[in-house]
Amino acid sequence: MEPTTIENFRQALWITVRSMAGLFVFMGMFILLIPALFKLFPKKKDE
């Protein structure tokens, strides 16, 4: 295998780790945010 291919794969692997972690952190923030939104803005009767 060519060194460029190995280097590209290594970078792709690193991007995978960072992106998947980033995605979970981002979605995790929403899981925390949603209960807070429900507390702050409960549905009113007239809505």
Partner 1 sequence: MEGLFAGLLYMTWKQLVMIGFGAILIYLAIRKEYEPALLLPIGFGAILVNIPFSAAIDQGATEGALSIFYRAGILTEIFPLLIFVAIGAMIDFSPLFRKPVLILFGAAAQFGIFFTMMVATLMGFNLREAASIGIIGSADGPTSIYVASQLARNLLGPISVAAYSYMSLVPIIQPPVIKMLTTRKERLIRMDSNPREVSRTILILFPILVTLLAGLVAPVSVALIGFLMFGNLIRECGVLNKLSLAAQNELASLVTLLLGISIAATMTANDFLRPSTLMIIGMGLLAFIFDTAGGVLFAKFFNLFLKKKINPMIGATGISAFPMSARVIHTMGLKEDPTNFLLMYAISANVSGQIGSVIAGGMILALVH
Q: How far is the CB of 21 from partner 1 (least distance, A)?
A: 9
Q: How far is the CB of 36 from partner 1 (least distance, A)?
A: 10
What is the total count of residues that contact partner 1 (CB under 8 A)? 33
* Sign of the Cα pseudo-torsion (26, 32, 35, 38, in order): negative
Q: How far is the CB of 1 from partner 1 (least distance, A)?
A: 8
Kindly identify the residues of this chain, within the stretch 20-39, that bind partner 1 according to CB under 8 A. 20, 22-31, 33-35, 37-38
Integer Cα distance of 37 and 47 in angstroms: 16
